[in-house]
Amino acid sequence: MSQQAAPLISVVVPCYNEEGSIGTLYQRLRETLQRYDVQGTEIVLVDDGSNDNTWQSISALCNKDKDVIGLRLSRNFGHQVALTCGIENCRGQRVLIIDADLQDPPELLHDMMTKMDAGYDVVYGHRIERKGESFFKRASAWAFYRFLNKLSEVPIPKDVGDFRLMSRRTVDALKQMPERVRFTRGMVSWLGFRQVALDYIRSPRFAGKSHYSVHAMLKLATAGLTSFSTQPLRFALWLGIGLTFISGVILFGILLDWLLTGRDDMFVAMIGFFLLFQGIQWIILGIIGSYIGIILRETKIRPLYLLDDHLNKK
């Protein structure tokens, strides 16, 4: 394939200590990609600072197959950054993002291509079953996706990872989002365009073990929540308004009691004032939170909008 022509398909794979999977992954990808070979394909393997033989395997593949692109990060930057590196360095008109451990079947590409031919920009894999994963992982993921969906400003599909086929224009749009805290699956939802789910059963890992520790999962979940919702910041405001309201009812009751019966219950009055001051403080925190929310939005420097179409462009 010539240097200039963009291949039809790029497959982007973040790899961290995946020496046991890379060989089989390559074989299955090559078999899957065969039918598109005439239009050009490339496999972009990003080594995210592995400390096993992942890079040796990638270099060997690059030597034997010129359409394998090997990228090696200087250290372990994490899944989302490795993924971003792959996306920035691929050229395909369509880009498939897939994990190295074969939990996502490469063969699903065919169905994804068919859906994209029908006019979709993003075809994302929707896990209807997760095999070989612990109860804790499945339960926490289940709860997280539902919670995130409730809070998020854009609908982020539930039970969906980064396994997806994206059109060139969505990849280019994604590249315009320079945020450092990255939650790719949410960012792609934010882009809009036409997106559709493809159901699949997630297999157990082919080799090795998951690199997502509880800590890494929490980090990703926090990235998802804080990048796509400012609702938690507003919580303080609602709490403050609630407390102030309760204190208002108590103080009004005390005042009425005093006016009608001449009784003054100082203890209850003190509770009322205490709640009032607490309420005011929470409201002020909520106001500060709203400003922080705006700062958060501004610092992401996301494009203000993306165009789907532009007719009669001059």
Q: Which is nearer to ligand UDP, 14 or 92 (CB)?
A: 14
Residue 49 corresponds to which tokens in the numbers above? 């600072």
Q: Is 48 in the site for Mg ion (CB under 5 A)?
A: no
Q: In the range 100-129, which residues lie near Mg ion by CB under 5 A?
A: 101, 103
Question: Between helices 22-33 and 109-117, what is the axis angle to 10°?
Answer: 40
Q: Is 99 in the site for ligand UDP (CB under 6 A)?
A: yes
Q: How far is the CB of 8 from ligand UDP (least distance, A)?
A: 23
Q: Is 16 in the site for ligand UDP (CB under 6 A)?
A: yes
Q: What are phi and psi of 162, to 5 degrees?
A: -95, 0
Element (H, E) at 244: helix 231-261
Q: How far is the CB of 246 from ligand UDP (least distance, A)?
A: 44
User: Residue 131: helix, strand or coil by DSSP?
Assistant: coil
Q: Is 102 in the site for ligand UDP (CB under 6 A)?
A: no
Q: Which is nearer to ligand UDP, 82 or 96 (CB)?
A: 82
Residue in the structure block whose two tokens are 């001449």: 262
Q: Is 145 in the site for ligand UDP (CB under 6 A)?
A: no
Q: Which is nearer to ligand UDP, 21 or 41 (CB)?
A: 21
User: Residue 301: helix, strand or coil by DSSP?
Assistant: coil
- What is the per-residue binding string for ligand UDP in 42-71, x denoting contact by CB under 6 A? ------x-----------------------
- Measured CA to CA, the distance from residue 310 to residue 120 in angstroms comes to 18
Among 212, 241, 268, 280, binds ligand UDP (CB under 6 A): 212
Q: How far is the CB of 18 from ligand UDP (least distance, A)?
A: 5
Tell me which long-range contacts 69-73 makes (C-beta under 8 A, separation of at least 24). Answer: 69/42, 69/43, 69/44, 69/45, 70/45, 71/44, 71/45, 71/46, 71/47, 72/46, 72/47, 73/46, 73/47, 73/48, 73/49
* Residues that bind Mg ion in the complex, under the rule CB under 5 A: 99, 101, 103
* Residues that bind ligand UDP in the complex, under the rule CB under 6 A: 14-16, 18, 48, 76, 78-79, 82, 99-101, 103, 210-212
